[in-house]
Structure 1
Amino acid sequence: MRAPLDPEMFDPVCPTDLTPIRFGDKWAGMIIRCLEHGPRRFSELRVPLRGIAAKTLTKSLRTLERDGLVARRAHSEPTRRVEYELTALGRSLLQPIAAACAWAQEHWDELIDAREASSLPARPGQVARR
């Protein structure tokens, strides 16, 4: 039996859109990390991904499956259930995702400063950034 996913696996105050490195859609990298230690049911994935709507999680899982990164397995015995797990191709993304996470942690303050600076209103005589 696998240990349950940690509900605090992803920091709720850490906006995923702040990190400029993406793997698929906004949620794909986090879904891949949730599947790192074995297959998970949809409801298990929703625990650490509490900010995602069921419809969005379904769409992300289908996209990951289409791209060959995640396999969907339906079991009928002893009880009907569906699990998602990483394929070999999906597992090959774990190291690049870890590198991207390490880079983002190292440059977090710079990323926040740049984001905040770009959202400030332009001063008189200064051209607004887009």
Structure 2
Amino acid sequence: MTERTTRLRRMAVTGAAAVGAVASLVGAAPAQAAANATTVYVWATDVNMRSCNLFSCPTYGSVKVSRMNVTAFCQQRGDVVRDGAYVNDWWLLVDAGGPKGWISAVYVRGGSNWGGIPGVSTDFAHCR
């Protein structure tokens, strides 16, 4: 074998190994969210996350969501939230990189007053 052929084979093996490693990392990566999850954008700053969709449920202390994409699993009606001209009784169960929590639809882009967020499930089974 010539030196060039040997070098080409080493490059091919190295390239195949790199592709295999990347494929295995992608395949081994945990699923970011269930099939029913939807990415939504929280347009406001310092939005409290709660343990349920009611004001009587505690907030997650210092956990705040601000101007970022979050994964929404479902939405349900809860307490009415008013913020300026915005008003809504829909809440979304979201994951913002920590524990799942509930935020008001008032602070999510794409909704309307008194309406849910398009594309987010209303199936209670998805809220677990």
Instruction: Give the TM-score band, short-chain normalised.
Output: under 0.3
Question: How high is the TM-score relative to the length of structure 1?
Answer: 0.25
Rg larger in structure: 2
Task: Choose between structure 1 and 2: higher strand proportion.
Answer: 2
